[in-house]
Amino acid sequence: MKRKACFFLILVLCLMPALLLKSYALDAAPDFSLNDLNNGSVSLSQFKGKGPVILFFWTTWCPFCRDQLDLLKDKYSRLKQDGIEVMVIDVGERKAKVESFVKGRNFPFSVLLDQSTGVAKNYKVYGVPTYIFIDKSGNIILKENKFPDYKTVFGIQSSSKDGQ
């Protein structure tokens, strides 16, 4: 009986990563159009075929989101150099609240507003922070809650570890 239980436990442990991870390869990223804090409209389709895109879903009340926003701020210039567009999307909050939060933080990126949470729902964002990596062809290739090694995700050649 102990052998069967041990075998079952090993089998479950071996299969768990496959059960927990979902492959997003070839899932087309739904298009959307959102306003930024300056009332400019930005759509995902503007970037299709031009280069990879990182969507970052966040809220002002989330402490982990604040850490990830600071990380994105630090990495932003390198991401742009590597041809990656970053779309930072606040989920479900009023414009005034987001403006107040962003004021004085000197973010180098635009902040988009998903006040109705429709975009987050379309991307099956169930918690924040959430990153969604989209390849040049417009396919979702990764969904994560923390910033991964983007150079590995997008297959960018690197001689250093600055993509992490």
Positions marked catalytic = 65
User: Which residue reads 């991964």 in tokens?
Assistant: 148
Quick one: DSSP state of residue 11? Answer: H
Say if strands 53-58 and 41-43 run parallel, antiparallel, or are unpaired: unpaired
| 84 within 8 A of 54, measured Cβ to Cβ | yes
Do 86 and 54 meet the contact criterion of CB atoms below 8 Å apart? yes
Phi/psi of residue 102, nearest 5 degrees: -75, -30
Quote the Cα angle for 77-81-84, to 5°.
Answer: 90
Measured between its terminal Cα atoms, the distance across the chain in Å is: 46
Residue (of 131, 125, 25, 117) closest to 88 by Cα position: 131
